[in-house]
Every structure is written in structure tokens, then in C-alpha cells.
Structure 1
Amino acid sequence: MSTAPRKALPAIDTDRCTGCGWCIAVCPPHVLSLQVQGPHSWGPKRSKLHDEPGCTGCALCAVRCPFDAIRMVRTTGHATTP
């Protein structure tokens, strides 16, 4: 079974992201996560797209972000199948 072509991927501005987690909560394929910034295992967390091939490009994360930290960036290829 093939997947539909993906038109865009989320690009997260880590300077604007507060790590609130709203984008993660609304992501249907669960491809976003909070990750600690820096070399330590503690500290500020920011949202990250950890599974690019699994992203559907639905843009719910960008719509839900209250800090305008996520913008959708057009892609040129198609989604890959696992």
C-alpha cells in the first residue's frame, strides 16, 4: 500500500518554541516529540520532528502552536512507505 504524496513538513523554530507540547498532543501520526536542548539530559525542551517519513503533512501542529513556532515547508518528493 502506498501513501499519498506529502506536500509539506513542519519546520520548528526552536527560538520561538517553549516546549509546551500542544503540537505533540494534536499530531495524529505521533511524529513529534519533546527533546532536551544541549549536551545534558536535563534542561529546556523543544519540539522536534523525530519521524519525517511518518509525517502526513496535515499541518495540525502549525495550526495549534500558540507561539507561531511551526511553519509548514513545501516538499518536492513523495512520502516514503516503510
Structure 2
Amino acid sequence: MLLPRIDTERCTGCGWCVAACPPRVLSLQVVAWRKHALLHDDSGCTGCSKCARCCPFGVISMVPATKSDERQA
């Protein structure tokens, strides 16, 4: 299973990935007055990679789920 990994340092918080996510497992989070995308539901992610394909800044990569991700599911 692949999950999106978001480079929060480079993410601009534009929200394109959130809008493109069919199961709605991505959201925008504000930290220190700066927005960035966040995967808030690992178990609900289908691994479709629509978020990574639509990101205009290329800050989302699809990576294999780790053992800790699988335990949370």
C-alpha cells in the first residue's frame, strides 16, 4: 500500500491535493501561521496518488506504508 508523503517545508497550502482526494483523507493544517497539507487518516487512504499527480509544486511523493502505518489501520 502506498501513502502520500508531503514535504511540509515546501508545501504552500494551496489545497489542490485536498480537493483532488476522493476519500477526503487530506486536510490543511496551520502551524506557526503557515498552512500545509496533512494526511489525517492513513487507514482511509486508497493509494490512488491523485494528490501527488495534481500537486503543482511536486511536494507529494507516494511511499510504501511502514509497519507503524499498518498498525494504525
Whether TM-score is above 0.5 comes out as: yes
Q: Percent identity?
A: 59
Moved over 2 A (4+): 75-78
State the partner residue of 2:12: 18
State the partner residue of 1:65: 55
What SS does the corresponding residue of 2:38 show, helix, strand or coil? Answer: strand
* Distance across 2 between alignment mates of 1:68 and 1:29: 21
* Distance across 1 between alignment mates of 2:45 and 2:13: 19
Give the unaligned 5+ runs of structure 1: 1-6
State the partner residue of 2:65: 75
* 1:50 correspondence with 2:40: yes
What SS does the corresponding residue of 2:46 show, helix, strand or coil? Answer: coil
* Distance across 1 between alignment mates of 2:36 and 2:31: 7
RMSD: 1.4
More strand by share: 2
Aligned residues: 69
- The alpha-carbon distance between structure 1 residues 24 and 74, as it changes in their structure 2 partners (threshold 3 A), is same
Give the unaligned 5+ runs of structure 2: none
Structure 1 letter corresponding to 2:19? A
Structure 1 letter corresponding to 2:11? C
What TM-score, normalized to structure 2?
Answer: 0.86
Larger Rg: 1
